[in-house]
Amino acid sequence: MISRRNFLKGAGLAGGTLALVGCGGGGTDAATDGDTGSDSGELISVGIINNDPNESGYRTANDKDMKETFTEENGFAAEFAYSMKNEEQIASAQQFIQNGVKYLLVSAADTAGWDTPLKDAQDAGTQTILFDRVVDADPSLYVAAVVSDMDAEGQTAVDWLTDQALPEYNIIHIQGVMGSAAQVGRTGALDEAVAANGWNLVVQQTADWNAETAQQITQSVIDSGQSFNVIYAENDDMAKGAVAALDAAGITHGKDGDVIIMGFDHNTWALEEVMAGRWNYDGQCNPYQASTILDIINTLESGGTVEEKTVIMEEGYADCDTITQEYIDENGI
């Protein structure tokens, strides 16, 4: 689905070891612009459909960001609906459309089944903006989609790993739930690099985003006496579990250690592990889409048109050599 990128990737993608300290900074400015841009008289009605904020730290941050952006002070009358079930989300969407909201913001639980509600919305004059996840619907049915590019997240991580120029690569690859967008993107990049560079995958196994399972998988490799020097875990929890197994076996890791630790998602505690030098890398999955959506709505409100249908979130990474406390404060979720 994601075909175009309208954001220039930072130095990290180009292969440098610079951390993207400025990542996401532009978004904050946009939010401030939004205050002045919106009509002070009448509130703009928006219906926001999201997944359950309890799902993950990512989702909690995403929901909080939405709530903080679409406030009355910013000129919005926002209504929220939460569900991790697609059909419940669609029911909420139809309710919002009946209520005549001006904008419908959707993070769909599933890609299928959104044709009809989005068509209904269009007929009723409601404009739809997808965020976080795309759906299988004709692009003409929505104004824009603001999403993360999981393939790029994986590529950024693999490029960083290539730059470490290790004498040999023996990798423990711990995957997320098989088939999820994050797993597919983050696995895809590593698989390609393994094939292209002749790296050795000591183990490639799914831990279903579960820290304890990751711990068991890593433990199993240690017990069988295989040697490894990289742990590529597809989220922070699993990296933490793997590290727990290393600690129990007295294997050093992180900045000056024997094993390179890589995680994803930018949980604040994970960034602190990177800062402390216990981990080497943490890739960002940016949940702060609200300011970009706000920009789009402001453009539409002022009579402009949105040119880019798919907006990819700018995402960076944290490296134990360059991470700063400021970066953690700004990007931790």
Q: Which stretches of the chain bind another protein, using CB under 8 A? A: 52-57, 60, 175, 178, 203-206, 208-212, 215-217, 219-220, 222-225, 237, 240-241, 244, 246-252, 267, 269
Which structure tokens are listed for 227? 């040697």
Instruction: Report the alpha-carbon distance of residue 111 to residue 173 in Å, rounded.
Output: 27
Task: Report in angstroms how near the CB of residue 186 gets to another protein at its nearest.
Answer: 13
Which structure tokens are listed for 151? 């393939």
| β 317-319/281-283 pair status | antiparallel
Pick between residue 77 and residue 203 the one whose CB is nearest to another protein: 203
Which structure tokens are listed for 307? 């040119």
Task: Report in angstroms how near the CB of residue 103 gets to another protein at its nearest.
Answer: 26
Pick between residue 164 and residue 220 the one whose CB is nearest to another protein: 220
Instruction: Report the alpha-carbon distance of residue 132 to residue 112 in Å, rounded.
Output: 15
Instruction: Report the alpha-carbon distance of residue 275 to residue 68 in Å, rounded.
Output: 28
Pick between residue 14 and residue 178 the one whose CB is nearest to another protein: 178
Instruction: Report the alpha-carbon distance of residue 15 to residue 273 in Å, rounded.
Output: 23
Task: Report in angstroms how near the CB of residue 284 gets to another protein at its nearest.
Answer: 18
Instruction: Report the alpha-carbon distance of residue 283 to residue 157 in Å, rounded.
Output: 7
Buried b (16+ CB within 10 A) or exposed e, 71-102: eeebbbebbbbbbeebeebbebbeebbeeebb
Task: Report in angstroms how near the CB of residue 222 gets to another protein at its nearest.
Answer: 7
Task: Report in angstroms how near the CB of residue 190 gets to another protein at its nearest.
Answer: 13
- Provide the total of helices (H) and of strands (E) in the chain, helices listed first: 12, 12
Instruction: Report the alpha-carbon distance of residue 63 to residue 19 in Å, rounded.
Output: 26
Task: Report in angstroms how near the CB of residue 64 gets to another protein at its nearest.
Answer: 10
Which structure tokens are listed for 284? 């960002």
**Residue 166: Cβ-neighbour burial (10 angstroms; 0-12, 13-18, 19+):** middle
Q: Roughly how many angstroms between the first and final C-alpha of the chain, as a whole number?
A: 27
Task: Report in angstroms how near the CB of residue 333 gets to another protein at its nearest.
Answer: 10
Pick between residue 184 and residue 306 the one whose CB is nearest to another protein: 184
Pick between residue 55 and residue 330 the one whose CB is nearest to another protein: 55
Ramachandran angles phi, psi of 36, nearest 5°? -75, -30
Pick between residue 9 and residue 59 the one whose CB is nearest to another protein: 59
Task: Report in angstroms how near the CB of residue 281 gets to another protein at its nearest.
Answer: 20
Pick between residue 244 and residue 306 the one whose CB is nearest to another protein: 244
Pick between residue 28 and residue 227 the one whose CB is nearest to another protein: 227
